Amino acid sequence: MSRQVMGRLAQLSPLVEQVSIDEAFADISDLHKPAEDIALQLQREVDDELHLPCSIGIASNKLVAKIATETGKKAAHGPEYPRAICVVDYGREAEFLAPLPADMLWGVGKKTGVALAELGMHTIGDIARWPEADLVRRFGQNGHDLSLHARGVDDRPLVPEHEAKSISQETTFGRDESDDVVIHATLKSLSAQVGRTLRSEKLAGKTVKLKLRWPDFTTLTRQVTLPSHTDQESEIYETALRLLRQIRLPGRAVRLIGVGVSNLGEPVHQMELWGASREKQRKVQSLLDELQDKYGDNVISRGCEKE
DNA sequence: TCTGGGGTCCTAGGACCC
DNA sequence: TCTGGGGTCCTAGGACCC
């Protein structure tokens, strides 16, 4: 359904940025037609053809358009899903934002919200009136953005294609898990999924990160950068296992375990000293991928490779 | 309410190099 | 013998987003 909705947007404008599974920005500045009409037509089309409700915000930049959508949704009432359309005219961005609560601004979450409230800033207008230099002193780079955004200024461009910066998989156990066999097997299966995603995207990563959460919810990460890029399950798993052994004694209970790969680049399948065996591994791997794509994840998996 | 999964960006300190 | 400053890369953690 997401793809179908995005397809409708693509017909509207060549410049579409998908933000998540159910949200996107479209640049309609080249369309010579009133914004309201465009929004209404799109909303009807999605409703009639795909039977989905959607809300639309229109403004001169991404930040205000996003907040306009939220505001429209909040203003809608009744038992139906909201089908809001909210337009903020050019030049009236700051005026529109001023009365809204501070935490509707992008980048204001729980912590920043509390910090702002302690200083007496409750609305976006309060932030806009606060001296920018003081916001920068208190919040660093974020303070600068806060000040600009509160005044409705946002010059971030639409980016149609986002390149992934990292790929990861994590899982929370149904109960805290202390069995080494289960934990290692889970890590292996997560590594396998990360490897498959990498290969299907024709990517490989250089930095492997292990994530661990203890039963008391404290969360740790440990990462290491490899000498070269990899898209192989075995290398990801063995690296993650090494990191795990550095921070966890056998038998210690774990709530969540995850593995991720970053520092992404193109996979290099070079013939080095171990070129022949690497090449062989790679062939086995793509055969496995093919089988799993066809018959599902459980049809076949790797056994022990060494030790 | 005992708190999921997958991401991004920023900060800060340390190693290392010139 | 002791010392400067800047740049880059790496690691760990935290805030935030959907």
Question: Which residues of A are designated catalytic?
Answer: 23
Strand C nucleotides, any atom under 7 Å to a protein CB: 9-18
Judgement on whether residues A40 and A138 belong to the same structural domain of the protein: no
* Distance C11 C1' – A223 CA (angstroms): 7
Per-residue model confidence (pLDDT) at position A35: 92
**Residues A115, A190 within the same domain:** no
Whether A17 maps to a domain, the answer reads yes
Q: Which nucleotide in the DNA or RNA is closest to residue A216, CA to C1'?
A: B2
For residues A304 and A268, the answer to whether their CB atoms sit within 8 Å is no
Find the CATH number of the domain harbouring A41. Answer: 3.30.70.270
Residue A113's pLDDT is what? 93
Q: How far is the CA of A251 from the C1' of B7 (A)?
A: 30
Count of positions (residues) in chain A: 307
pLDDT for residue A161 = 83
CA A113, CA A103: separation in Å to the nearest integer? 6
Residue A305 lies in a domain: no
Residues A62 and A106 in one domain: no
Write out the two tokens for A161: 């294609």
pLDDT tens, chain A, 307 aa long: 888 999 999 999 999 999 888 899 999 999 989 999 999 999 999 999 999 999 999 999 999 999 999 999 988 877 788 899 999 999 999 999 999 999 999 889 999 999 999 999 999 999 999 999 899 888 888 898 999 999 999 988 898 888 899 999 999 999 999 999 999 999 999 999 999 999 999 999 999 999 999 999 999 999 999 999 999 999 999 999 999 999 999 999 999 999 999 999 988 765 555 556 666 767 777 777 777 766 666 666 665 544 3
> What does DSSP say about strands A56-58 and A85-87: parallel, antiparallel, or unpaired?
parallel
Q: Are residues A119 and A179 in the same domain?
A: no
Nearest nucleotide from residue A164 CA, by C1' atom: B7
Question: Same domain, yes or no, for A191 and A281?
Answer: yes
Q: Kindly report the pTM of this predicted structure.
A: 0.80
Nucleotide lying nearest to A116, CA to C1' measure: C15
Which CATH number belongs to the domain containing residue A123 in this structure? 1.10.150.20
Question: Quick check: is A155 in a domain?
Answer: no
Residue type, A178: S
Residue A295 sits in the same domain as residue A193: yes
Locate A71 and state its tokens. Answer: 């505001």
**Contacts of strand C, CB cut-off 7 Å?**
A 19-23, 66, 105-113, 206-207, 219-225, 263
Whether residues A284 and A176 share a domain: the answer is yes
Domain range for A111 is 96-150
Please report whether residue A225 resides in a domain: yes
Q: How many distinct structural domains can be found in chain A?
A: 3
- The whole-number Å distance from A183's CA to C16's C1' is 29
For C10, nearest residue by CA–C1' is A225
Distance between the alpha carbon (CA) of A33 and the C1' atom of B17, Å: 58
Whether A161 is covered by a domain: the verdict is: no
* CA A201-A207-A208 angle, 5° bins: 90
Residue with minimal CA–C1' distance to B11 is A140
Spatial distance from the CA of A221 to the C1' of B14 (Å):
18
